[in-house]
Amino acid sequence: MRLMALDLGDRRIGVALSDPRKTVARGLQVIKRASRQADINLIKSLVQEYDVEAIVVGHPLHLDGHAGEQARRAEEFTGQLQREVEVPLVLWDEAFSTERARQAMIEAGKRRKERKERLDAVAAAAILQDYLDTLRTDQA
């Protein structure tokens, strides 16, 4: 079974998956937002297709740790998604995930167009990798 991560944006949702051993995260795809129900239905289908056991959702907290408008939207979406999927969801602080993803893509020599198309999926992978690394640290 795998873990999935979501990087929720206003126009797109980045999706990432772990490998079955839950050691490495990789960007899977970018969902162009349609309606909330359509987005949730697509996520539900991905959960089934990839045998996902839990979903990590990026939670964009401010640097001081409090939740602003974006974090509240993530919480609301997560609550609705939780009512429709049978796997646990975890809100995870996504501190600088998009900027880390952008920098990694620049360093890898990705062209601007490719960066724009894949950025949200790579940011979701950064969120998931952070979560996976924390799981390993906690188990050690």
By C-alpha distance, which of 57, 51, 64, 46 is closest to 130? 57
Using DSSP, state whether 60 is helix, strand or coil. Answer: coil
Please state the domain count of the chain. Answer: 1
3-state secondary structure of 10: coil
Q: What is the CATH number of the domain that holds 35?
A: 3.30.420.140
Phi then psi dihedrals of residue 10, to 5 deg: -70, -35
38 lies in which domain range?
A: 2-139
Could you report the per-residue pLDDT of 20-59, keeping only the tens digit for each?
A: 999 999 999 999 999 999 999 999 999 999 999 999 999 9
Distance (Å, rounded) from C-alpha 99 to C-alpha 59?
15
pTM of the model as a whole: 0.87
Tell me if 27 sits within 8 A of 128, measured CB to CB: no
